[in-house]
């Protein structure tokens, strides 16, 4: 399957667009999307743009599978295929190092609390797992296992990490950082599972399966939440992983249903944000957030002006990205 899958671009575009819009709003507004209602969903301890992280990690997994599948099908060896993946997603980590250090300070990178580095590392590990096991059901099972065990592993490390100060960076990347492997990798592995469904069974069958899986997982997560096993964004609860996975499968099926394979190489805002995701993500931090900080006017506007300024920012980013 060599052609681009438009729904994957659109889903990536949805994830990036809503992250950029709400973060831009947060840059301008006195309100804080990470603590103030209605931008912060108290019952789930989640900012309104939090779901974009899960969706982006999931879609990255789809891309990893399609890339590896294409390389293997063309006759390339596994080492050659991994080198291609390493060049692409390893660059995410390197870019994040310089970008994060410039915008937020090196401490954010060191603590593994920036999304781009988490996406890059998880994509590389997911690719290694796929090339090693080559059994898609083992990959999915690993995703489930990590989702449910990661809170306990994190607690264990937190209780004993004082004994291993020289390993803090590794602990951050593996478990402790918000965008660590423990958080991002399961969603990436579930995305690989969807990529397999698309290639092996065709998009029509994959859409139906994705819809059913999405509904079951989303309802399961909501039932867990209502039963006391809270969907907790900052606590990275297992029910959060189930919820993010369910929403991601469901979103793919709904996007496929509505576009019906009709849109190809569209210049619409969602496909453009999807194809130029890295540029759009970096642009709004470097050219909107950082200047506002330098000028001392960050978080100074009311809600309505901030919405308008955020929408204008998104439009400007779209105009630039569409011409790249």
For residue 297, the model assigns a pLDDT of 92
Indicate the length of the chain as a whole number. Answer: 324
The 3-state DSSP class for residue 141 equals helix
- Would the pLDDT of 45 be above 90? yes
Q: In whole angstroms, what is the distance from residue 1 CA to residue 53 CA?
A: 26
**pLDDT at residue number 118:** 96
Enter the tokens of residue 191: 């995305």
- Of 261 and 283, the one with more pLDDT: 283
Give the pLDDT confidence score for residue 88 in this predicted structure: 93
For residue range 6-30, list pLDDT tens digits in order.
Answer: 888 999 999 999 999 999 999 999 9
pLDDT for 267: 81
Distance between CA atoms of residues 6 and 10, nearest Å = 6
Confidence at residue 2, expressed as pLDDT on a 0 to 100 scale: 44
How is the chain split into domains, by residue range? 6-321
* Global pTM value: 0.93
- Cα(140)–Cα(155) distance, rounded to whole angstroms? 24
Instruction: State the pLDDT confidence band at 260, using cuts at 50, 70 and 90.
Output: low
Q: In angstroms, rounded to a whole number, what is the distance separating the alpha carbons of residues 62 and 127?
A: 11
Q: What is the pLDDT of residue 230?
A: 95
**Cβ-defined contacts of 239-244 (< 8 Å, 24+):** 240/44, 241/147, 241/148, 241/186, 241/187, 242/147, 242/217, 243/54, 243/217, 243/218, 244/51, 244/54, 244/55, 244/57, 244/58, 244/187
Q: How far apart are CA 163 and CA 160, in angstroms?
A: 6
pLDDT score of 25: 96
- Residue 25's φ and ψ, nearest 5 degrees, are -55, -45
Q: Which residue reads 């006195």 in tokens?
A: 30
Local confidence band at 5 (pLDDT 50, 70, 90 cut-offs) = confident
Tens digit of pLDDT for each residue in 109-152? 999 999 999 999 999 999 999 999 878 999 999 999 999 999 99
DSSP-assigned beta bridge partners for residue 301: 29
Chain segment 89-115, per-residue pLDDT in tens? 999 999 999 999 999 999 999 999 999
Quote the CA–CA distance of 189 and 182 in Å, as a whole number: 12
pLDDT-derived band of residue 263, with 50, 70 and 90 as boundaries? Answer: low
CB 210 within 8 A of CB 194: yes
Q: Averaged over 70-79, what is the pLDDT?
A: 88
- pLDDT tens for 141-197 read 999 999 999 999 999 998 888 788 889 999 999 999 999 999 999 999 999 999 999
Per-residue pLDDT tens for 219-235? 999 999 999 999 999 99
* pLDDT given at position 165: 84
- Read off φ and ψ for residue 114, nearest 5 degrees: -125, 135
* 266, pLDDT greater than 80: no
Which is nearest to 138 in space by CA: 148, 130, 128, 127? 130
C-beta atoms surrounding 32 within 10 Å = 12
């Amino acid at each position: 399957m060599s052609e681009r899958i438009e729904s994957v671009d659109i889903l990536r575009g949805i994830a990036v667009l809503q992250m950029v819009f709400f973060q831009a709003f947060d840059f301008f507004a006195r309100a804080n999307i990470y603590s103030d209602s209605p931008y912060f969903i108290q019952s789930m301890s989640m900012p309104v743009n939090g779901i974009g992280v899960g969706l982006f990690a999931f879609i990255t997994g789809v891309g990893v599978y399609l890339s590896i599948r294409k390389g293997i099908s063309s006759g390339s060896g596994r080492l050659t295929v991994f080198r291609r993946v390493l060049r692409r997603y390893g660059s995410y980590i390197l870019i994040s190092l310089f970008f994060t250090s410039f915008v937020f300070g090196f401490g954010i990178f060191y603590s593994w609390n920036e999304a781009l580095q988490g996406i890059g590392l998880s994509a590389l590990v997911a690719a290694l797992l796929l090339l090693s096991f080559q059994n898609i059901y083992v990959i999915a099972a690993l995703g489930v296992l990590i989702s449910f065990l990661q809170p306990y592993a994190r607690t264990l490390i937190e209780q004993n990490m004082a004994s291993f100060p020289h390993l803090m960076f590794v602990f951050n990347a593996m478990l402790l950082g918000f965008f660590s492997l423990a958080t991002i990798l399961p969603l990436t592995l579930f995305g690989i599972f969807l990529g397999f469904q698309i290639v092996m069974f065709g998009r029509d069958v994959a859409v139906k399966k994705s819809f059913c899986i999405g509904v079951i997982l989303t309802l399961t997560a909501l039932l867990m939440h209502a039963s006391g096993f809270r969907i907790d964004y900052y606590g990275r609860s297992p029910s959060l992983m189930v919820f993010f996975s369910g929403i991601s499968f469901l979103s793919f099926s709904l996007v496929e249903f509505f576009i019906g394979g009709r849109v190809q190489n569209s210049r619409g805002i969602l496909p453009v944000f999807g194809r130029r995701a890295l540029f759009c993500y970096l642009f709004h931090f470097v050219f909107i957030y950082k200047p506002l900080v330098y000028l001392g006017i960050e978080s100074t506007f009311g809600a309505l002006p901030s919405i308008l300024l955020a929408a204008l920012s998104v439009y400007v980013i779209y105009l630039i990205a569409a011409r790249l």
